[in-house]
Each structure stands twice: as structure tokens, then as C-alpha cells.
Structure 1
Amino acid sequence: ITREREQDIQPLRIAIQRNLDNNQELMEQLRDTAVLMLASEKLERARDSHREQQASELVESYSKRAVVGALAAVAPGSDIIIQGLLATRLIQALCKIYDVSVKDVEIESFLRLAGGKVRKMTAITLAITGNALKAFPGIGTLTGGLVHAVAYGMIFESLGRAAAQTLASRGELRPYPAAKAFEEILNDNLEAGAVRFAKLALAEKVKKDQP
């Protein structure tokens, strides 16, 4: 049996360090390069943090709009039209934050895939939404608009977070990974999201019903 001997690189390290110590100009160049790299990394982290904050605020804003839009729908199916326009604008706005050029077909593909995920989860989503609303005393009979408003809030939040996550990690909108992330985020946050958006929907309904 033959075994490879571990390479002793200590002499090489010593030789390299000795050469560096004797070359002041090279030392200065390496130091300047290290400083620039450190500054660049700090700027990138600051940029990423700023984008993440902007994206979070944008998603929160559009999720609220989705809730309000569902409550405001007056004709059957009109909420679908409202939400479709909002979803497209949300993705476009997120792409702008991440400085990503996106084609309409990519947005449409992502929304179509996400819609397929939603349809598979409709029953459980509406059931959890209904339970969350029933937890609030004095709510009375649940209406379809109220239930849908809560569901849309959760869907938009998950949609926005999934898109932002994909844009941040890949530098582009990739419909299939984004749709997968959407499904996971929605599934992981169903119960907590239902409670949060139930509170929001009820508050908005009170405003809407006021004379």
C-alpha cells in the first residue's frame, strides 16, 4: 500500500513572505487591492440590504392593495382582473428594485405557474382563512369577498417574497424556481399569514362599511 505524503508547504510560505517583506511596492499594491475589495464587499452588502428593505416594503404595500381590491370588487370575476393587474405591476416593480430587465412573457409564465400552485392549494387555503376569520368575535356570517381578501393578501405576500428571493439570488426572474419558492413560502406561512391578513381585511372592511 502506498500513501501519499502530505506536502510540507511551510518553506514555500516562508519564501513568499520573505519576498513580500522585501518588496515594498508590491506590499502597497496588495494592501490597496485588499482595501478596495473590502470596500466593494461592504457596498454590495449595503446595496443588498437596501434592496431587501425596499422589496419588503413594496410587497407589504401590494399585499394590502390586494386585500382592498378584493373587498372593493363589485362584479363577479372583477377581483381576478384587479389582482392580475396588481400582480404584474408588483413583479415589474420588484425587477426595477433589483435592476433586472424582464420580459412580459417571463412575468406571465411566473404568474401562470404560481396560479397553478394556488389552484392546487385552494381548498386548504380557504379553510385556514375561514378558521382565522372565525377566531375574531362578532364577525357574523363570513362572506366570499372577505375570505377571498384574506387569501389574496397571503398569495400576494408569498408571490412578492418568492420573486424578490429569486431576483436576489439569480439576478433574473426565473419562472420555475420562483414558482417553486412561491409554493413553499405560501405553504409555510398559511396559518400565520391568515391571522395577519384577517386582521387587515376586517379593519379595511370596517372602513369600507362606514357611511
Structure 2
Amino acid sequence: MSGIPVGELERRRARMVEHQLRRRGISDEGVLAAMGRVPREEFVPPELADVAYEDAALPIGESQTISQPFIVAAMCELLELDGTEHVLDVGTGSGYAAAVLDELARSVLSLERIPVLAERARLALDRTGHDGVEVRIADGSLGAPDRAPFDAISVAAATDHVPPALYEQLTEGGRMVLPRGGRGGQRLVRVVRTPEGPEETASLACRFVPLVEG
């Protein structure tokens, strides 16, 4: 995809895992290994391949971005995946997070509302050996009732509330991670479905585009 030697890209990926993730507190070895396997350069526009492993979100077109590697790793770590889960990924974007989730879970269904991004993501996922990820063009806030329940849900767009449809599609004890807040500030929040209702725990500060609902 790029003119950068494969060996150099692999070295940059290893440095990203060590310096941007492990040294900043990501401790789940499964997540670290998954991030070390997925070639981020395949999920950015060709002209940005040279900066694919920088500690930053990058534009992917359609006013959307590929998230900073640390945020992708943090969301995956908060989901506490052990490889047996059926996962819903809301906001496919580039497909990068879906690829990482595919390394960590039993199955991944990813929802994207923008058709051109969904198609690009499908191609990138196929190129990188993650063709088992199903990408659908859909309103992510509504989830996928026909495939529910999900053991884990990752939401890559900010909202000031837990979308009811997504919460209802979680298994008992299932985990959802989403950015909560608006322009004044956002934090990653882990939501666990319990018999008593949503159990929420706030985590890192973050910045995502708003979740489009309806």
C-alpha cells in the first residue's frame, strides 16, 4: 500500500505498542499483542501511511477520523475480552478498531452509517485477514437486534446518555464502552448490564465525533 519497507512498518508498530501503550498503562497482554499484529497503515489513506503509527487520530475522509492508538487499546482493555465474546462495534470508520476486536473476540459485527466508509473498511479488513468481520451500513445507535444479544459493545461516537437500544442488546453482565459527554468534555465510560440496571465507571478523557441517532 505504501512505499515504506515492511520491516520499517513493523518496527514502528512495535515502538507504538511499547511507548504509546504499555508505558502509558495498557497492561492487558492480549490487547498489546493484538495492537502489535494489526497493520494500522492499511486503515489510513495512502498519503498518511508514513504517519500511521504516530500518537494521534488521523483523518479518513467524510469528516471522520481513525482513533488514536492509545484510545483504541484503552477501549478494548475496558471491554475485558477473553476470546469467547460476540461483539458489536458501533462506528466502523476505517475498520481499524474492528480489526483489533477481531483479534480479541469470537465474532465482530460492525455498524457504519456512511456507505463509502463501510466499503473502504470492508476492503481493508479483507486485505489484513479480518474478513470474518461483518460490516453493515446502519444506524449504530439502534444496534443489531437480529444478532443480539452481545457480550460486549464498543461505541466510537460520543453521546450524553447510554443509548437504550444498545443497552438492551447486552447480555447480563455484558460490557459496553462509549465516550460520554459533549463539546465541554468527554470521558470513556464502561457500562455493565446488571439486574439492578446499568453500572457505570468513568475512565479516560477522550474526544470523539457525536453519535448520530435516528
After TM superposition, the score normalised by the length of structure 2 is 0.28
Relative contact order higher in (CA < 8 Å, ≥ 6 apart): 1
TM-score by length of 1: 0.28
Higher helix share: 1
